[in-house]
Chain A
């Protein structure tokens, strides 16, 4: 009978739970779903990670290739993120060119990389003006159950920490690059941006880590990306109901807590990995 009510009046069904300060899956309003992360599972990629936020699953694979540095910044490399939302992850997406949600997510990830300076692009340069690394970061969503942005940011960060680039020297005589696959080094990750997403209900209530049903019923969403010093890299609020300054403050404090949780999880995972 509850299932019938849920189909006919989904918003009322939700409101009944929210009144008791909890959600249908048993979580509190400020509780995240169980987060798991798996590093280095793709052997053919230079760095990879798989992140699961409840049912939302995102896999990130990073390939490093050579490219010429941009003419206006000859000492910088490139990081090219791409989020792929295929029909595999949700019935809402069709195959073909990337839809709006995928493009917005790709732009969001590009902004996070740019704003947080997670990697200095100068570190990716091999020979100024001639050769630089291009990191293609492909984030593929395997299962879309809401909160894609948090999962993608986490997957990207974990994969970047896993990337090992071989040493490259330019041969003076032939002017060709020589790659030494035996000597690999990790990237220099300067900050750890962590995203926390909220959904706004009925213009007043804020819930953390929305599932797909909650995202559809919400009147607005908000994503805060924070690094370890409490600095904000991105405050992404694409429209939706209005928020006051005080509510934003609450979101910030929740984001700080989430950052600590994620950082702890990531440190544990990397410590437990066997050194190659």
Chain B
């Protein structure tokens, strides 16, 4: 099986760390994922995109407080902890985005009156943080065995002052960009699940970024598939 792999991927058999293939047409940074690294949560994953790294842990389906229970589906909770300082209003806003994205794909109806908690810890932030959080959350949900309708991935696009599109920008590129758009796309039909943007841009640029993000999401989903295949084929 190793012979058919591309040269860029590296495999570590013991802990299941995977590195993403960098094809010539894809301008995403190098990404890597490690699953099942924490012993207490039901599922955990660490996602690395260039120098940005996020650690996710999932507990669930578990007991829910009576005040928060929903009679016909699972209650999803997301906690995002920044690297330094206490969580603030910006973190709350991001938690809401990640939670609603997860709610759209998780089959909550299979586990009514339970809670599924996703905890994200930012380990290092070098640009495209929200996209990395989304990817880590998805991998952790898969690791926990939570039933999902589709997988989802996060892609960030930056538009600089002369309209050039940049995928997966670094922190420096984000600061210099005119607009930064983050999308969450689902794996079945590449539909737009979540979007949040910063800066001014036109309608045509939005469609352009969306198309580029959909193309880039192919690479991310292929990486998910390969890394999961490799993990479950080791027996």
Our verdict on whether A and B bind, yes or no, reads yes
- Which A residues fall within an 8 A CB radius of B? 100, 103-104, 106-108, 110-111, 114-117, 219-220, 227, 230-245, 248-249, 252
* Bound complex: CA A245 to CA B93 (Å): 24
Chain B residue numbers with a CB within 8 Å of A244 are 189, 191-192
Q: Bits for B186-211, please: 1 = Cβ < 8 Å to A, else 0.
A: 10010111111111111100110011
* Bound complex: CA A100 to CA B96 (Å): 8
B residues 84-128 touching A (CB-CB < 8 Å): 89-90, 92-93, 95-104
B144 within 8 Å of A (CB atoms) = no
Q: Assess whether A239 is in contact with B193, with CB atoms less than 8 Å apart.
A: yes
Chain A residue numbers with a CB within 8 Å of B28 are none
B141 within 8 Å of A (CB atoms) = no
Closest to B150 in A: A242
Chain A residue numbers with a CB within 8 Å of B184 are 239
Most central of A116, A117, A227, A243 by chain B CB within 10 Å: A243
Q: Assess whether B200 is in contact with A236, with CB atoms less than 8 Å apart.
A: no
Q: Assess whether A231 is in contact with B104, with CB atoms less than 8 Å apart.
A: no
* Bound complex: CA A114 to CA B89 (Å): 15
Q: Assess whether B100 is in contact with A232, with CB atoms less than 8 Å apart.
A: no
Q: How large is the interface on B (under 10, 10 to 19, 20 to 34, 35 or more residues)?
A: 35 or more
Q: Assess whether A242 is in contact with B206, with CB atoms less than 8 Å apart.
A: no
Known: A103-B92, A241-B193. 17 other contacts (CB 8 A): A116-B200, A117-B200, A220-B104, A232-B202, A233-B200, A237-B193, A237-B194, A237-B195, A238-B100, A239-B97, A239-B99, A239-B100, A239-B184, A241-B104, A241-B191, A243-B192, A248-B207
Closest to A229 in B: B202
Q: Which 8 A/B pairs are nearest by Cβ-Cβ distance?
A: A239-B100, A242-B191, A107-B93, A239-B101, A103-B92, A237-B195, A238-B100, A103-B89
Chain A residue numbers with a CB within 8 Å of B97 are 238-239
Q: Assess whether B200 is in contact with A242, with CB atoms less than 8 Å apart.
A: no
- Pair count A-B, CB < 8 A: 103
Chain B residue numbers with a CB within 8 Å of A219 are 104
- Which B residues fall within an 8 A CB radius of A? 89-90, 92-93, 95-104, 181, 184-186, 189, 191-203, 206-207, 210-211
Q: Which of B189, B193, B197 sits near A234, CB closer than 8 Å?
A: B197
Q: Assess whether B194 is in contact with A107, with CB atoms less than 8 Å apart.
A: no
**Contact A104 B92, CB 8 Å, known A242-B189, A242-B193:** yes
Chain A residue numbers with a CB within 8 Å of B196 are 235-238
Closest to A114 in B: B198
**Contact A252 B203, CB 8 Å, known A107-B89, A107-B90:** yes
